Structure 1
Amino acid sequence: MTSKKASGGAKPALRVIKKYPNRRLYDTDTSTYITLIEVKQLVMDSQPFVVRDAKTNEDLTRSILLQIILEAEAGGEPMFSEAALANIIRFYGHAMQGFMGSYLEKNVQAFTDLQRQMAEQSKTLNPEVLAPFLGVPNPLVQGVMGSYAEQSKAMFEKMQEQMQKNTEQMFGAFAIKK
């Protein structure tokens, strides 16, 4: 699939997909109806897009992404356990909701970066050379995983600091001292 270039040519233009009342998705870039599987492929290809309601022009992108996740969770091997989903639900309406979303987003990004680094490093390795080391802990992998763990810990600590500041500000507003 080719995508239109934005003025300046630096980034692909934001692809617009219209959702019609009959639940069909229309890709304005290709002038064709597409399926959720094709929208998922846009995500997998890192294609920037937005899904808009054909009548109201309301942004429905998050709704469509959640629908893709729901279908993926329903079929095959789910990514989220029931306990994880229940914990996520508990954060809605909780004072920590904003922090949790940011924390999850940053951790997923850190994990994605880790995965990309490992993929890049594995391109230079020959499988026959790796065979003797498969049963032995690899210092390179341990280093990358350690880096991910440190990033995750740092993000959590930053979140805790922000929570403490917000709590202190809230108590300060009510003239309550620790």
Structure 2
Amino acid sequence: MNEPRIIKKYPNRRLYDTEESRYVTLSDVQKLVRSGTDIKVLDSQTSEDITRSILIQIITDQETGGDPLFTTEMLTRFIRFYDEAVHDAFSGYLDQSLRFFSEQQQRFARQMHEAMGTKDVWDVGEMTRRNLKFWQDMQSEFFKAAGFPMPGTKGGSSDKDPKDDPENKG
């Protein structure tokens, strides 16, 4: 594995890419991460690793844009999980989910490349069905392990809108 690229953050809030010997912006750091470059951001005065705070800042900047990834409801749930006993399980679940998603993207790209070189047509629908089943099973196991009722079961929430229930007079 390659050593991470060192970015230093100076007291004037500027970021300095030590490999290219130049100042960079958060946007530049974001591009490095997206391109697959491992980074490590260090405070120039204390040498403290502040990579997490810079990555969170990049996410925050993206979330304030026009099409956020996280809904308000999702962010509210994240905050609630910080104080609950399921914190570690939730963190592990998110990590595993993102790793799986990344692996699936790579597998998809590889299979599409192989499919373009052959006369067999790759079945996107089948992969979608398999991925959906995997995600549903993983979510079910996570909620079961966390002690939450499953959506659609007694005590759980349902996908149905309460306004559509004929017995709901309100």
TM-score range normalised by the length of the shorter chain: 0.7 to 0.9
Distance 2:110 2:37 in 1: 21
What RMSD over aligned residues (CA atoms) do the two structures have, in Å? 2.5
- Could you say which residue in structure 1 is the equivalent of 2:156? none
TM-score (norm 1): 0.70
* Higher helix content, 1 or 2: 1
SS in 1 for 2:40: strand
Residue 30 to residue 23, structure 1, CA distance change in 2 (3 Å): same
1:143 pairs, out of 130, 134, 152, with 130
TM-score by length of 2: 0.73
Q: Secondary structure at the match of 1:88?
A: helix
When residues 141 and 149 of structure 1 are mapped into structure 2, their CA distance, relative to the original with a 3 A threshold, is same
Whole-angstrom distance in 1 between the partners of 2:98 and 2:55: 16
Structure 1 residue runs of 5 or longer lacking an equivalent are 1-10, 162-178
> What are the within-5 Å matches in structure 2 for residues 78-89 of structure 1?
78-89=68-79
Matched-pair identity in %: 36
Distance 1:158 1:47, change over 3 A: farther
One-letter amino acid matched to 2:17: D
Deviations 1:51-96 (A, max 9, x none): 0000011111000000000011000211110010001011112222
User: In the alignment, which residue of structure 2 is the partner of 1:107?
Assistant: 97
- Match for 1:139: what amino acid? E
SS at match of 1:138: helix
Query: Does structure 1 residue 119 correspond to structure 2 residue 106?
Result: no
Q: Deviations over 1:133-158 (max 9, x none)?
A: 9xxx822432343344445555x279
Between the aligned partners of 1:106 and 1:159, the Cα distance in structure 2 is: 15
Whether the 8 Å CA contact 1:40–1:68 is kept in 2: the answer is yes
Aligned residues: 144
1:29-108 map, 5 Å? 29-108=19-98
Q: Note if contact 2:86-2:146 (Cα within 8 Å) is conserved in structure 1.
A: no
Contact 2:89 2:146 in 1 (8 A): no
Equivalent-residue separation in structure 2 for 1:145 and 1:118 (angstroms): 14
